[in-house]
Amino acid sequence: MASTVRNLKSFLAGAGRFAQVRVAGTKGSTPRETGTWMLVSMLTTYGTIGGGQLEYMAIDKARQVLGRPDDASTMLDVPLGPEIGQCCGGRVEVEIRLGDDELASALIREAEQEEAGLPHFYIFGGGHVGKAIAAAVALLPVRAIVVETRANELEGISPGVETMLTPMPEEAVRAAPAGSAFAILTHDHALDFLIVAEALKRSDAAYVGMIGSKTKKATFRSWFLKTAGGTEMQFARLISPIGGEAVRDKRPAVIAALAAAEIMSSLAFYVVGQRSLSAMSEAGKSNAARPGS
């Protein structure tokens, strides 16, 4: 995705006086969760608290605050009903406060930490489908990298997506951080098989997907089990074809849209699973520490 740190710094550099609009509390159905924030200057904005009349009201109030000489914060308590043309049905408390250098620095640090923690998504192959998937995920909260053995196929990759030129793409799998997603769609089936085998042997991969037919998947399974030293349990984690089979449309843009949704779901499930494991581990430690346990 495009660098949020760079975009935030760009806004702050040109904003002059600015205010932070933050969701301080929610009840019922609301567009965004508590803690969500946006920044407002007299001329522009950065981020969103959910759009609609709620956001318009908050921006208008923030600009009123910017026009005052004092630096007192302001609270809005907004019912999301028909009276404001928004039918979420909940209620939102919004805090508006003037920004300063301390707040700006804190927001940049927060953005840097968030960007550093983005899940990695490796797209092996920069052909038509690879480029389409790269374009589909360019705005999503992932660090996307297109890996290619051919330099010319890395031309025209969407802005915000990294590229990696290497004669041994399987090494990118080995070097990837835990929780990475891998979509394999190169120009060479043998190369696909090599990369997929490496990815399936990583028990900490959030997603392993390979483009292709049922025949290609069956051929890979035979090779993986008989030659590559793989197991049925590892093979069962392979998603192929990527994007599923519910929509039978082989156009690159359609495959890309379906694959992007599939991959984001897998990354979300992985995060939830890791949190559950962490909670279970902490609970086990707590029980072990109790007297008589």
194 and 249 in a common domain: yes
Instruction: Report pLDDT for 282.
Output: 62
158 and 110 in a common domain: no
Q: Is residue 70 part of a domain?
A: yes
Which class for 38: exposed (0-12), middle (13-18), buried (19 or more C-beta within 10 A)?
buried
- How confident is the prediction for the chain on average, in pLDDT? 90
d(CA 278, CA 122): 26
Quickly state the pLDDT bin for 289 (edges 50, 70, 90): low
Q: How far is CA 78 from CA 35, 53, 81, 127, in A?
A: 16, 10, 9, 49
123 and 104 in a common domain: no
Domain containing 134 equals 119-273
267 and 129 in a common domain: yes
- Integer distance in angstroms from the first to the last C-alpha of the chain? 48
Q: Is residue 84 part of a domain?
A: yes
Convert the pLDDT of each residue in 16-63 to its tens digit. 999 999 999 999 888 899 999 999 999 999 999 988 888 999 999 999
134 and 209 in a common domain: yes
Q: Across-strand partners of 148?
A: 165
Q: Is residue 287 part of a domain?
A: no
145 and 101 in a common domain: no
237 and 137 in a common domain: yes
pTM over 0.95: no
From 115, 131, 154, the end of a domain falls on 115
126 and 108 in a common domain: no
The domain total for the chain is 2
Do the Cβ atoms of 38 and 21 come closer than 8 Å? Answer: yes
Convert the pLDDT of each residue in 165-200 to its tens digit. 999 999 999 999 999 999 999 999 999 999 999 999
Sole residue written with tokens 């979420």? 88
168 and 257 in a common domain: yes
At residue 167, φ and ψ (nearest 5 deg) are -80, -10
Q: What is the CATH number of the domain that holds 221?
A: 3.40.50.720
Q: How far is CA 251 from CA 150, 260, 282, in A?
A: 23, 14, 47
52 and 173 in a common domain: no
264 and 217 in a common domain: yes
Long-range contacts of 102-108 (CB under 8 A, 24+ apart): 103/20, 104/12, 107/8, 107/12, 107/20, 107/39, 108/5, 108/8, 108/9, 108/12
